[in-house]
A and B are shown apart, each in its own frame.
Chain A
Amino acid sequence: MDQINTAVIVKLEPDFSEGNVSYNPDGTLNRAETKNILGPHSAIAVSAAFYAKVKYGAKISIGTMGPPVAESMLQHAQLMSDADELCLYSDRIFAGADTLATAEVLKSGVQKMEGKMDIVFSGHRASDGETGQTGPQTAWKLGMTFLGHVIDYEINLENRTVRAKRLVRMQGVYDVVEEIEAPLPVFIAIDPSYKPKFNTVSQRLDYEKYQKEAGDRAQNFKQYLKVFNAAQIEADPKLIGISGSPTIVYKVERIPKGKATRQAEIIDGSNQEQIRKVVARLLQSLSTVMIK
């Protein structure tokens, strides 16, 4: 049985947690004041790769396209996963890329990682861009079977297949959990509800062993870090950055306040009498359930 090689593609994103995030008076994000971290969905993808390390002894490579400061995010991801290789794709010419041009860089980057990948993981979507396109587009460019919304997966080492559960929401109809089997290699976009489970004693022991190793490695993360520019990943200059982006941002504007869809009655929250009347009205409208 050959080694399982996994890769995770992650993104540096604004930290939206309260106390760290800063908003402008008009409600938009203050990017200058908000620091950047490993995106929460990226972190879940990292934990999915760590599951493969604990359970199948998989090798983990983590890659990101970003500015030089993104290396501390890779350090964080290594601390979470005991990653064996950290790759930062950083070049001025990557700037201004849309999802297709970003996917091209990530594809070229993954192909430069050590070993041939069996599984590449990505998060569900970034919390700032929120397109959710970069993962599947990278998968397509890599020629890998794309499995989205994955909430659970197991690898069959003998057959070199993966069995994954996917949560598919059919809006207005129902939700479906689909179990799918696919030959490796596959690209998995992990669902936000994914939680790795370590059930056996040996898994829990391995978990602790790798966690400890992760702590040691992350202290010396630069030993594991490789920084690549466009030429080093052999990315086609016509397909990356602004030149490789089919789309442009034409304009950004405040969403104009629409027409009021309802005419609100305004109640003073400190006026007990007004509250009493509102409650009476609401309870009356609910009367079929409230009066038993």
Chain B
Amino acid sequence: MTEGDYRHVYVVIEHEEGTILQVSLEMLGEARRILDDFNKKYSSKEKVVAVLLGYNIKDIPKTLIQHGADAVICADNPELRYIRNTIYTKTISQIASDRDIAAKIEPEYAVQFKRPRYMFFAADSIGRHLSATVLAHLESGLASDINKLVVGDLQITHQNKTGGKPLTYEKTLEMYRPDFSGFLWTTILCLDNKNPAMPKDYHPQACSIIPGVFEIIQPDPNRDGKIIEYTPKFDEQDLKVKIIDRKIIKSEIDFDSHKTIVSFGRGVKDSPEQNIKLIEQLAAELDAQIGITLPLSKRPFSVSQTVDSTYLIPDRVIGTSGRKVNPKLYIAVGISGAMQHIAGMKESEIIVAINPDENALIKDECDVFIKGRMEDVIPVLIEEIQKQKQVVQA
């Protein structure tokens, strides 16, 4: 690998009919912060490059530049109006390997350019799959569901990557991913094979980024950036995949029109059926919608069919794998406070937690912490709510 082979951060933008998804701007913000530090530290001039696919998208590049992009590669074509995995994967992969584009971004490295150095996707319905297929096509590494990124020069000793010898990997992206429990952080690296027995370059170093984690930068209307048009090359065969119909739907579980949300987690485990019934009553008193944490959607309890199919369903999950909510009042019952859940409810106005364990992480994320077992606390709460509502109505 020589200087110039791998340059820039390519950020794959998502939008729906021209409305940019928040996470795309968050990724641009993080890419901007990372590259500003990077360029200072390494006296370099690498760029934040937004990759934008769609149809009739002329207005978007300007917004992306204001939010931190130095360049926007724009593939505007009727076939790209909606996302179809195959043609999107091929178009993005073409863009990532295209020297003519690289020349427009930065003429001095036009000849050497092979691939982007880093590549960011959103860890959502679209980006998770797209990142997987693009990186399978580019034959490089991908870390999913990242919530922290650091660039460093790392000393690595690895049987396979370095043949057991210590070697320095410069400008390496440390990709932090919280595990399913929310307690552990795993740092993933995508490393070239420098083992002389089987050398191989693995670039870009790519990841998908959890929505709602990184901050959007203040848009600057005076920021300058290049807009680069790209004409994709399609295979006839790939266009046989046809979108017949698209229906916008509302989830059957409506969180937005309720001022209160009551959610529960694994803390119901001692007697799940009865506890969920109690939570149901509390929610009814407050005209609240009911949410759950991700582990509950994996149906860990044996409960009645009705409770199971009403409550332990993916549609009710609040958090990074579900919905993001911001009610006036959020009551977290038996929820420990894993980061994935917090990300989905932290914007709530008032947060109340009911939990017997004062060391639970949720304590630092709530306004009122009611210490006690839900079996004991909820009946008292219900009784008080009923009493006080009567007073008000009288």
Query: Residues of A at under 8 Å CB distance from B?
Result: 16-18, 21, 23, 26-29, 40, 98-100, 103, 127-128, 130-137, 139-141, 145-149, 163, 167-183, 189, 192-193, 238, 242-243, 245-255, 257-270, 272, 275-276, 278-280, 282-283, 285-286, 288-292
| Neighbouring A residues of B154 by C-beta, 8 Å | 250
Residue interface bits B335-367, CB-to-A below 8 A is 1, else 0: 010010000001001111110001001011111
**Across the interface, do A282 and B85 meet the contact criterion of CB distance under 8 Å?**
no
Q: How large is the interface on B (under 10, 10 to 19, 20 to 34, 35 or more residues)?
A: 35 or more
**Residue B3 CB within 8 A of the other chain:** no
**Across the interface, do A27 and B240 meet the contact criterion of CB distance under 8 Å?**
no
A258-B240 CB under 8 A given contacts A243-B160, A286-B328: no
Nearest-neighbour CB distance to chain A for B183, whole angstroms, equals: 4
| Neighbouring B residues of A168 by C-beta, 8 Å | 83, 125-126
| Neighbouring A residues of B354 by C-beta, 8 Å | 269
**Across the interface, do A285 and B349 meet the contact criterion of CB distance under 8 Å?**
yes
| Neighbouring B residues of A261 by C-beta, 8 Å | 346, 364-365
Query: Residues of B at under 8 Å CB distance from A?
Result: 14, 16, 19, 21-23, 82-86, 89, 124-126, 128-129, 131-133, 135-137, 139-145, 154, 156, 158-161, 174, 178-191, 198, 200, 202, 211, 238, 240-251, 259-260, 266, 269, 272, 286-287, 295, 297-301, 313-315, 324, 328-329, 336, 339, 346, 349-354, 358, 361, 363-373, 376-377, 380-381, 384-385, 388-389, 392-393
| Neighbouring A residues of B132 by C-beta, 8 Å | 99, 131-137, 140
> Cα distance A244–B376 when bound, in Å?
54
Considering the complex, give the chain A residue whose CB is closest to the CB of B362.
A264
Q: Out of A139, A249, A282, which one reaches B186, CB within 8 Å?
A: A249
**Across the interface, do B364 and A98 meet the contact criterion of CB distance under 8 Å?**
no
Q: Out of A149, A242, A247, which one reaches B159, CB within 8 Å?
A: A242
Which 4 A-B pairs give the minimum distances between C-beta atoms? A269-B372, A246-B141, A260-B364, A247-B141
| Neighbouring B residues of A167 by C-beta, 8 Å | 125
Counting chain B CB atoms within 10 Å of each CB, which of A103, A135, A171, A285 scores highest?
A171
Considering the complex, give the chain B residue whose CB is closest to the CB of A29.
B181
**Across the interface, do B141 and A140 meet the contact criterion of CB distance under 8 Å?**
no
**Across the interface, do A242 and B160 meet the contact criterion of CB distance under 8 Å?**
yes
> Cα distance A127–B180 when bound, in Å?
7
> Cα distance A119–B247 when bound, in Å?
25
A193-B125 CB under 8 A given contacts A145-B85, A145-B241: no
Counting chain A CB atoms within 10 Å of each CB, which of B129, B140, B179, B361 scores highest?
B129
**Across the interface, do A98 and B141 meet the contact criterion of CB distance under 8 Å?**
yes
**Across the interface, do B136 and A245 meet the contact criterion of CB distance under 8 Å?**
no
| Neighbouring A residues of B182 by C-beta, 8 Å | 255
> Cα distance A260–B131 when bound, in Å?
33
A248-B329 CB under 8 A given contacts A18-B269, A178-B243, A264-B353: no
| Neighbouring A residues of B373 by C-beta, 8 Å | 269
A-B contact pairs, 23 of them (CB 8 A): A40-B298, A130-B145, A145-B86, A170-B124, A171-B23, A171-B125, A174-B249, A175-B249, A178-B243, A179-B246, A180-B244, A193-B313, A246-B191, A248-B158, A252-B184, A255-B339, A260-B363, A267-B369, A278-B370, A279-B384, A283-B385, A286-B329, A291-B393
A169-B124 CB under 8 A given contacts A269-B373, A276-B384: yes
| Neighbouring B residues of A133 by C-beta, 8 Å | 128, 131-132, 142, 144
A268-B21 CB under 8 A given contacts A175-B249, A247-B143: no
> Cα distance A243–B178 when bound, in Å?
25
| Neighbouring A residues of B388 by C-beta, 8 Å | 276, 279-280, 283
Nearest-neighbour CB distance to chain B for A147, whole angstroms, equals: 7
Q: Out of A18, A172, A180, A238, which one reaches B300, CB within 8 Å?
A: A18
Nearest-neighbour CB distance to chain A for B24, whole angstroms, equals: 10
**Across the interface, do A174 and B250 meet the contact criterion of CB distance under 8 Å?**
yes
A100-B139, A247-B188 given; name 9 further pairs at CB < 8 Å: A17-B299, A40-B298, A128-B180, A131-B144, A139-B133, A140-B132, A242-B159, A261-B364, A283-B385
| Neighbouring A residues of B269 by C-beta, 8 Å | 18
**Across the interface, do A264 and B369 meet the contact criterion of CB distance under 8 Å?**
yes
**Across the interface, do A250 and B187 meet the contact criterion of CB distance under 8 Å?**
yes
Q: Out of B129, B298, B336, which one reaches A132, CB within 8 Å?
A: B129
| Neighbouring B residues of A238 by C-beta, 8 Å | 198, 200
**Across the interface, do A264 and B364 meet the contact criterion of CB distance under 8 Å?**
yes
> Cα distance A278–B366 when bound, in Å?
13
A147-B135 CB under 8 A given contacts A163-B244, A264-B363, A270-B372: no
Considering the complex, give the chain B residue whose CB is closest to the CB of A143.
B86
**Across the interface, do A255 and B369 meet the contact criterion of CB distance under 8 Å?**
no
A130-B180 CB under 8 A given contacts A141-B136, A168-B125, A248-B158: yes
| Neighbouring B residues of A272 by C-beta, 8 Å | 380, 384
Nearest-neighbour CB distance to chain A for B198, whole angstroms, equals: 6
> Cα distance A171–B320 when bound, in Å?
10
**Across the interface, do B385 and A18 meet the contact criterion of CB distance under 8 Å?**
no
| Neighbouring A residues of B135 by C-beta, 8 Å | 100, 137
Q: Out of B14, B160, B366, B385, which one reaches A262, CB within 8 Å?
A: B366
| Neighbouring A residues of B381 by C-beta, 8 Å | 275, 279
| Neighbouring A residues of B297 by C-beta, 8 Å | 192
**Across the interface, do A180 and B183 meet the contact criterion of CB distance under 8 Å?**
no
| Neighbouring A residues of B189 by C-beta, 8 Å | 247-248, 250
**Across the interface, do B368 and A173 meet the contact criterion of CB distance under 8 Å?**
no
| Neighbouring A residues of B137 by C-beta, 8 Å | 140
**Across the interface, do A265 and B243 meet the contact criterion of CB distance under 8 Å?**
no
**Across the interface, do B184 and A171 meet the contact criterion of CB distance under 8 Å?**
no
**Across the interface, do B380 and A262 meet the contact criterion of CB distance under 8 Å?**
no
| Neighbouring A residues of B384 by C-beta, 8 Å | 272, 275-276, 279
| Neighbouring B residues of A148 by C-beta, 8 Å | 85, 125, 128-129
Considering the complex, give the chain A residue whose CB is closest to the CB of B158.
A248
Nearest-neighbour CB distance to chain B for A17, whole angstroms, equals: 5
> Cα distance A52–B160 when bound, in Å?
43
| Neighbouring B residues of A21 by C-beta, 8 Å | 300
Considering the complex, give the chain A residue whose CB is closest to the CB of B85.
A146
